[in-house]
Every structure is written in structure tokens, then in C-alpha cells.
Structure 1
Amino acid sequence: MKRRSIATEADASQLEEAVVRSAAKALAKLADLHSASDVLHTLWSMKFKPVGFDPLDSESPLNIIEQLNQTFTYIASARALRILIRLHPEFAPFALNLGTAGGTDIESTHGDGVACEVFAAVNTSNNQKLRNDLLKVSTTHAAHKYVFFMCPGFDEGRQRHLERLPGVQVWSVGGAV
């Protein structure tokens, strides 16, 4: 698991900039790897070989499928943090829990101020992600509970029509990069 402390919007921007650096490096490597005469080899390499990079460490190889999955979750998290810092500066710094771990994806580091889940998906019903994240964050003792998501077709902002549990706000961080 990767745990980061994010206190300012600049910290959140640095997180996103690291993700962009790794994305650029992976795309350059894919351009070198790709052969029009053997497209299946290119796709095989993308899935099974470390032709991508850890989104937060452009020196650490990773398969491109994992990089894709992590990239947009990390960008959604950085954007969620910017929103949280504007809404609740009194709870900064926030702990950002990336990867698989207990607890919530973003939480206040002191007290039970804020708890958030974050996801990026093609739509909000994929794998019942929104439903599951709403349930997870609703069980916390935080005073302010959120689910943030990145999906195509949603502008940044609160999505009241998706709020299904009392006390849990649902926000889109925007649907495009």
C-alpha cells in the first residue's frame, strides 16, 4: 500500500504530475515496442510484460493494464483532494491510501473529520462500485462522508441524484482529463 499525506492543493498537483510523467514514459515505450506487422505481440506485451510504469514512480516497471487502472484512480484522488482542501481546510493534511488496504481511500489525519472513497470507472454502476463505496464510507464515524468518482459524462460537482444513503455526499471530479 502507498500512503501519502496531502496538505495543500500544490501537494495534490504534484501527485497528478507524477502520474502524468509515468504515463508519458509508458506511451513512449509503447511507441517503440509497437510493430504494425505483429499487433498481437504488442497487445500481449501490454498485458503481460512490464512495459508500463508505476504511476507514482516512473522508474518502477509495471504492466500497462495495471498502470491504466491505477492512473485514473490516482488522478481522481488528486482531484478529490483539491475539492476536500477547499471544503475542509481545517482537516488537512489528509491521508491518501493508495492500493489495497483497510480503511477509506482518503481520511483526515486527526480525528474523525473526513472519510472518502474514490473510484474511476466507465460508469457509476460498474461492478456496483458506487453502491459498495457508499456502504463502506457510511459505516465510518467521520463527520463528513464522501464518495468521489471519475466517469465519462459527469461534470465536476456534487451529484445529489446519486446520493442513496443519508449523510454521504457523492461528487464527480469530472469526466475528462
Structure 2
Amino acid sequence: MVFPLARAGAPAHADMPPEVRDLYEEAAAVTPISRRAGAALARATVERLIKHLDAGAPANARLDDRIALLHGRISTPLQQLLDIVRVLGNDMLHVDEQPGDLAVIALDEDQGPGVIELVLRAANDLVDELVTRPRTTSSLWAHLSPGTQQNIRAKQTRLGVEVPAPTDESTPVPPSPSAN
């Protein structure tokens, strides 16, 4: 009898870019064997994904800067989770004499697997928030009549709500405001 190999986390999001998906799958596959390696690879996955999605950021930007540049384009909980991924990945790679609290939790037999699953989910959530939902919403918005779209925009303007520009599906994420 053959048993499937254990892996962590959900499958990679269907809209995840292939070059990121490979790294995600590696992180999910290695996590049951080494949570330290899984956390480090999850961090690398998030970094590669953010670089792919936000090509407007400076090429030499650090991951913490890239995450900060996503402010206002992703939910606050996801931004916090991305920072957790960054810190945990760093802690796992740069363990001195005293590992950080996140590293201790991630390496714990009871809590660790859940923490790593949450870390892996951050990549899927990022794809969902910055690629899938905008594309789906844009597609549905296009089915509204021009008059209905105009009425919605007029109401938003009257209420002082910032009216988003129509999205271009070929550009997953608008350029960072500070990247200019």
C-alpha cells in the first residue's frame, strides 16, 4: 500500500503565478519534515509573489518596504499576516542563541503546524485580494449598464467617497504611489 506524502497548507491558489506556485508547493511539501525550512520557504514565496504583483516598487526594495507599500490595497489583517510571515521567516533563518517568540511557537509540536499553515495561507490570500477578486469584480462591473455605473459613481462622489478608476485586468496591482 502506498500512502500520499504529507504536506501542509491548502493547495496553491489557482491564480497564483507559476513561478511562485512552485516555491509555494515546495514550502508545503517540506513543512511536515522541517517547519523551519517550511517557514523560510513560505517567506520566500511571499517575497517572490509581492515582487511579481507589485512590479512598480523599486527593484532593490526590502520585503518590509514592499509590504508597507501594499497599505491601502490589501486588508489590514493580511498586511499584518505578511509582516508575521516576514519576521517568522527571518527568525527561522537567523536563529542566534535565543530564537524569537514566533520561531518558538512555529517549532512547537502542538502549535507549530497551525502557525505554518497560516503562514502558507498568506500567499493564497494575497493572490485572492490582489488578483482574483479585482478581476472577478471588474468582470461583473462590466455587466452593469453604463447608466448604472454612472449613477453609482455619482453617488460615491456626492458622499465624498474616493471613486476607484476602472481596473485593467492585465495589470494585477496598480503601481505603488511611492514608486514614482
The normalised TM-score by structure 2 is 0.27
Say which one has the larger Rg: 2
Write 1 or 2 for the structure with the bigger share of helix.
2
